Structure 1
């Protein structure tokens, strides 16, 4: 259910773009993101920082897109979101010696400290890669091509998350280790 909720705004954006244009699609993704965050809040009782940042960027860059009638704002939003995530993780890890990824997910996964560090480094590299790819496609390709990339470009996070899952699985405690703990 939650995975569907994560993809719903982009699917609605894609549909609205194909039926109308980038400006209608921008309004749709703004509304869908507000609804998405309201549902998440109702389910979890709070929004994580990434949800708040995403909501702020979607509404802010969406409003600029609509008010200035300039599609460049909505197209650059993913680059800014990915770059901000990468910067936050990198600064936390290397400047403050804090692993924000572990702080967010540590209650759900019991992993050795080095594994958390490796995962965070992988996330930093991934987010900067995605920021660069989005910027490239947004700048050098048409809006139609960028929208298609936004939909079909979801292969990147899926591949990244599956690879990460395989990496994590090797380091999870075995059932007998959990029973002895």
Structure 2
């Protein structure tokens, strides 16, 4: 459900383009993104930083597209977002010594530090690659092809990448419950020893 909700502006962009044109579709995408954030704020009173960034980028590049009636700006929007995410992941890791991928996923899996670093780097490379692919499709093919790729192609590549990562990290996901259980049993054992009758306090 969340996946479809996240794609809501892109789906409306695609459908509107099929019935009208790129400019009306751009206006609808901007409105849909604003509505999406408004709904989340109404329900949760909390918005992820990435959604604010996405809103700012689509307002700037979508607004430029509408202002000068040039589709080039909206075509650049996905690439700017992809490259910005890649830059944040890379700078946070190298400069701030904070692995953002680890921070987001550490509750779901337990990985060695070296694997977390490789995982973070793999996402950096992936988003850089996605930015290049978007530009290639946007400026090498028709607008219709690019709009279709934006919904189906980019989403499909993302899903394949995630599935491959889950397969590669599968053994760590399997080991995580065992580590949690072992830690729980160790805590229980320590508590029993501490509470053993006759033990000095």
TM-score w.r.t. the length of structure 1 is 0.91
- Alignment pair present for 1:8 and 2:8: yes
Larger Rg: 2
* Superposed CA offset, 1:110-135 (max 9, x none): 33322221211110010000000011
- Alignment pair present for 1:142 and 2:142: yes
- Structure 1 window deviating more from structure 2 (141-150 vs 126-135): it is 141-150
1:55-70 superposed matches below 5 A: 55-70=55-70
1:25-174 superposed matches below 5 A: 25-153=25-153, 154-172=155-173, 173-174=175-176
What is the distance in 2 between the residues matched to 1:42 and 1:178? 36
SS at match of 1:70: coil
What is the distance in 2 between the residues matched to 1:102 and 1:31? 33
Cα 1:29/1:43, change in 2 over 3 Å: same
Cα pair 1:9 1:33 within 8 Å, conserved:
yes
- Structure 1 window deviating more from structure 2 (51-60 vs 40-49): it is 40-49
Cα 1:175/1:97, change in 2 over 3 Å: closer
Cα pair 1:89 1:124 within 8 Å, conserved:
yes
SS at match of 1:170: helix
What is the distance in 1 between the residues matched to 2:39 and 2:3? 13
Cα pair 1:112 1:171 within 8 Å, conserved:
no
What is the distance in 1 between the residues matched to 2:57 and 2:77? 7
Q: Unaligned regions of 5+ residues in structure 2, if any?
A: 184-201
Q: Unaligned regions of 5+ residues in structure 1, if any?
A: none
Cα 1:160/1:64, change in 2 over 3 Å: same
Cα 1:20/1:6, change in 2 over 3 Å: same
What is the distance in 1 between the residues matched to 2:39 and 2:113? 33
**Runs (4+) off by over 4 Å:** none
Cα deviation, residue 42, structure 1:
4.0
